[in-house]
Chains A and B, each alone.
Chain A
Amino acid sequence: MIKTKLAAGLMAACAMTAPAFADKLDDIIASGTLRCAVVLDFPPMGMRDESNNPIGFDVDYCNDLAAALGVTAEIVETPFPERIPALMSGRVDVGVASTSDTLERAKTVGMSIPYYAFENAVVANDKVEMTTWEDMKGKTVGATAGTYEAIWLEKQVNEWGEGSFRPYQTQADVFLALSQGQLDATVSTVEVANANVKSGNFPGIRVVDKAPMVPDYVALFTMRNEYGLINYLNLFVNQQVRTGRYAELYKKWVGEGEPANLAIPGVYR
């Protein structure tokens, strides 16, 4: 009797100490909830429908990931600059937030293999004469603070040594400023550019040219030391492509055509 009690006690103690060794992947499975950081100001990747529910490519991607893990998904809205604080302060488990996988950032967070790739377009105000992306030289340009295209554009403006660059906090502010004529041009992903030109919310803007950047590969991210979870994310991205779900989501949110190739020829990842 005493022995069984002791054994039970020991087992309970073991069970209680066990979570200390559990990694993030275990924590997610145990909690039954996957909390994803998603940017909901970035159509068609993340946005809200008429009844204010989060929808978009990234939202579906998070739901798929949660389904694969057998847990429920919780979408946590995070503006671009707040993705990392949200992760580090433990408000989210992973970021499904169209995050460019730069080497500089990978020093801070752990990136999965790319799950999407953007091409970028130059969008201009109708009153500004522009035919190619190089006409941005000397103009007032801007982009969403903290994005790949903003980093590229600011660097470009500094190289030109003329014109000025303004980062706005949200994609909507960028297009509002562009539509008002505060900005002459912006660089945004082709998806966002087309969605915003088509929506009619921002009159007086047009797509001018493609921006000559390396495709903007975006990755899922989590804590840098969570190898278990990162491994899982890598396999998940692979499976999404393999099962055709990637192409399906592309067709659903972006449109007809082939989604970008996520493998880079000539190199392993």
Chain B
Amino acid sequence: MFNYTFQWKQALARLPQMLDGAIVTMQIAILSMAIGILLAVVLTMFRLSGNRALSAIAKTWVEIARNTPALFQIYMAHFGLGSFGIHLSPFASILLGITFNNAGYLTENFRGALKAIPDTQTRAGRSLGFGAAGAFRYIVLPQMLRISFLPMTNQMVWAILMTSLGVTVGMNSDLYGVTQDLNALTFRTFELFAVAAVIFYLITKVITLGARLVASRLFRY
């Protein structure tokens, strides 16, 4: 079935270029997670605020982010905004698309985490003299982030894998984009994408294992 001779040397010769791409992939993923977590905290506060308009914003965001394909979100960040004359570079488009997606999913994660924190915690905090904001900031928020730490690493892995969608908006400097470029040049599709897959696997493995290590250190009771 596979009438084909693999030429691994040709692919391995391009490894330095692909590793440069992997760094860009990491940059996008890390930035999108950092901004995504901040946005998700803000959205969670919107939800808890009791203000109708604010919680409607949070709700709409989460609904769109979770119920449409990431590809659609990234495409819209580039061509959708482009049709209104807002021109984002491919890097900015993919960053915006993934951040939007991350923020939506993380808000849901945070909601789950909040459910695991008994109300009595807040009440105890309030009775010790914290204001509403103080109780959230010092009592609820740290626990929420702790409970949702591992789900957050899941989202991080997802963010890394989603960077591969950047090729649809003209991205050619990330790992997938570089691989696609080299593929067009050499037609060594299988070898190049196999190498890319290994790099993706290693990155995500390091992140999940690292996160577990960090979690076991930080969250010892």
Q: Is the CB of B82 within 8 A of A182?
A: yes
Q: Contact string, B81-110, partner A, CB cutoff 8 A, digits 1/0?
A: 011010101100000000000000000000
Q: A177 and B170 in contact (CB under 8 A), knowing A81-B183, A182-B78, A223-B3?
A: yes
Q: Is the CB of A81 within 8 A of B180?
A: yes
Q: Contact string, A121-158, partner B, CB cutoff 8 A, digits 1/0?
A: 00000000000000000000010011100110010000
Inside 8 A of A84's CB, which chain B residues have their CB?
A: 183, 187, 189
Q: Is the CB of B2 within 8 A of A168?
A: no
Q: Is the CB of A182 within 8 A of B87?
A: yes
Q: Give complex CA distance A81, B185 in Å.
A: 10
Whether A169 is near chain B, meaning CB under 8 Å from some CB there, is yes
CB closest chain-B residue, reference A170: B168
> Which of the residues A109, A145, A168 comes within 8 Å of B181, measured between beta carbons?
A145
CB closest chain-B residue, reference A225: B3
B interface size (C-beta, 8 A) = 31
Inside 8 A of B218's CB, which chain A residues have their CB?
A: none
Q: Is the CB of A88 within 8 A of B189?
A: yes
Whether B120 is near chain A, meaning CB under 8 Å from some CB there, is no
CB closest chain-A residue, reference B171: A166
Interface residues in A155-204 (C-beta closer than 8 Å to B): 164-169, 173, 176-177, 180-182
Q: Is the CB of B170 within 8 A of A105?
A: no
Q: Is the CB of A166 within 8 A of B170?
A: yes
Q: Contact string, B168-206, partner A, CB cutoff 8 A, digits 1/0?
A: 111110000100110111111110000000000000000
Inside 8 A of B190's CB, which chain A residues have their CB?
A: 85, 88
CB closest chain-B residue, reference A104: B186
Q: A176 and B189 in contact (CB under 8 A), knowing A167-B170, A167-B172, A223-B3?
A: no
Inside 8 A of B4's CB, which chain A residues have their CB?
A: 88, 223
Inside 8 A of A154's CB, which chain B residues have their CB?
A: 181
CB closest chain-A residue, reference B75: A173
Q: Give complex CA distance A166, B170 in Å.
A: 5
Whether B139 is near chain A, meaning CB under 8 Å from some CB there, is no
Q: A105 and B187 in contact (CB under 8 A), knowing A145-B167, A173-B168, A180-B79?
A: yes
Whether B213 is near chain A, meaning CB under 8 Å from some CB there, is no
Inside 8 A of B186's CB, which chain A residues have their CB?
A: 104-105, 107-108
Interface residues in B1-22 (C-beta closer than 8 Å to A): 1-4, 7, 10
Whether A42 is near chain B, meaning CB under 8 Å from some CB there, is no
Q: Is the CB of B184 within 8 A of A181?
A: no
Whether A57 is near chain B, meaning CB under 8 Å from some CB there, is no
Inside 8 A of B85's CB, which chain A residues have their CB?
A: 180-181
> Which of the residues B10, B83, B184 comes within 8 Å of A146, measured between beta carbons?
B184
Q: Give complex CA distance A107, B183 in Å.
A: 13
> Which of the residues A81, A146, A177 comes within 8 Å of B82, measured between beta carbons?
A177
CB closest chain-B residue, reference A147: B184
Give min CB distance, A81 to chain B, whole Å.
Answer: 6
> Which of the residues A150, A169, A180, A225 comes within 8 Å of B167, measured between beta carbons?
A169
Give min CB distance, B93 to chain A, whole Å.
Answer: 9
Q: A177 and B79 in contact (CB under 8 A), knowing A88-B190, A109-B187?
A: yes
CB closest chain-B residue, reference A165: B172
Interface residues in A65-99 (C-beta closer than 8 Å to B): 80-81, 84-85, 88, 90
Q: Contact string, A19-58, partner B, CB cutoff 8 A, digits 1/0?
A: 0000000000000000000000000000000000000000
Inside 8 A of A107's CB, which chain B residues have their CB?
A: 7, 10, 186-187
Inside 8 A of B180's CB, which chain A residues have their CB?
A: 81, 145-146, 167
Q: Give complex CA distance A49, B99 in Å.
A: 39
Inside 8 A of A180's CB, which chain B residues have their CB?
A: 79, 82-83, 85, 87
Inside 8 A of B181's CB, which chain A residues have their CB?
A: 145, 154, 167
Inside 8 A of B185's CB, which chain A residues have their CB?
A: 104-105, 151
Pick the 9 closest A-B CB pairs, nearest first.
Answer: A166-B170, A146-B184, A108-B187, A180-B82, A105-B187, A84-B187, A84-B189, A168-B170, A182-B87
Q: Could you show 6 A-B contacts with beta carbons less than 8 Å apart?
A: A107-B10, A167-B170, A169-B167, A180-B85, A181-B82, A182-B170
> Apart from A85-B189, A104-B185, what 12 extra A-B contacts exist at CB < 8 Å?
A84-B183, A104-B186, A105-B187, A145-B181, A145-B184, A166-B170, A167-B167, A167-B170, A167-B184, A177-B82, A181-B82, A182-B78
